[in-house]
């Protein structure tokens, strides 16, 4: 069973680490909120998404492409709107943000984006191959949390550096712009690579 766990961890981590938009999403969230609540929301989202992946198996890869593109784009745009609506006094207010709010924003940004991505398909395939749903789920969730942790802590470091050097207005404009670009790229990627 330990071999299946590490095989799943390695396969999902490698499949997810290259070119994944979650790294950027988590980095943007970490620039806005404290790291611990982001990690809680992220972990809950990964547990739910990988749970669906290993239980549903390959059916997740057959979700309608336009639905996947739409949900992913709406997720990025929703987080962009949330950031846009914040005023520029976030530096003082950041520590006052309720942990549950940051966790909920992180959960939503991750849970509602990138369904049927390579990590879920990898987990679904391994669950079907090994018939060890719980072990594959644990390995996949650990891989995703490892990847997300790297992005969150990198984002927190960048947040501290930016805090001293860049205007809050510029940070907000850049963050919102990046999320809008990621939303548009999500739609373009789905439409061009899946042959719609």
CB proximity list for 140: less than 8 A, separation 6 or greater: 8, 9, 12, 46, 50, 53, 54, 119, 122, 123, 126
Only one residue has tokens 């739910």, namely: 48
Q: DSSP of 49-82, one letter per residue?
A: HHHHHHHHGGGGGGS-HHHHHHHHHHHHHHHHHH
Evaluate if residue 6 carries a pLDDT over 80: yes
Domain ranges of the chain: 2-193
pLDDT band at 11 (very low <50, low <70, confident <90, very high): confident
* Torsional class of 85: left (φ above 0), alpha (ψ -120 to 50), beta (otherwise): alpha
Q: Which helix (H) or strand (E) holds 17?
A: helix 2-17
Evaluate if residue 84 carries a pLDDT over 60: yes
Q: What is the pLDDT of residues 16-75, one digit of tens each?
A: 665 566 766 777 777 777 888 888 998 999 999 999 888 876 565 566 767 766 766 776
**pLDDT of amino acid 130:** 78
| pTM metric for this prediction | 0.64
**pLDDT of amino acid 72:** 65
């Amino acid at each position: 069973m330990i071999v299946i766990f590490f095989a799943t961890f390695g396969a999902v981590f490698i499949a997810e680490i290259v070119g994944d938009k979650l790294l950027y999403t988590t980095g943007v969230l970490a620039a806005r909120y404290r790291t611990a609540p982001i990690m809680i929301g992220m972990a809950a989202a990964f547990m739910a998404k990988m749970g669906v992946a290993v239980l549903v198996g390959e059916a997740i890869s057959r979700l309608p492409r336009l639905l996947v593109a739409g949900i992913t784009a709406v997720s990025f745009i929703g987080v962009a709107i949330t950031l846009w609506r914040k005023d520029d006094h976030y530096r003082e207010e950041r520590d006052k943000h309720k942990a549950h709010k940051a966790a909920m924003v992180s959960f939503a940004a991750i849970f509602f984006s990138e369904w049927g991505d390579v990590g879920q398909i990898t987990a679904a395939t391994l669950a079907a191959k090994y018939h060890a749903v719980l072990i594959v789920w644990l390995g996949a969730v650990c891989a995703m949390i490892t990847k997300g942790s790297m992005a969150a802590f990198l984002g927190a470091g960048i947040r501290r550096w930016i805090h001293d050097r860049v205007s809050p207005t510029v940070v907000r404009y850049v963050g919102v712009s990046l999320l809008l670009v990621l939303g548009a790229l999500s739609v373009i990627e789905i439409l061009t690579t899946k042959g719609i």
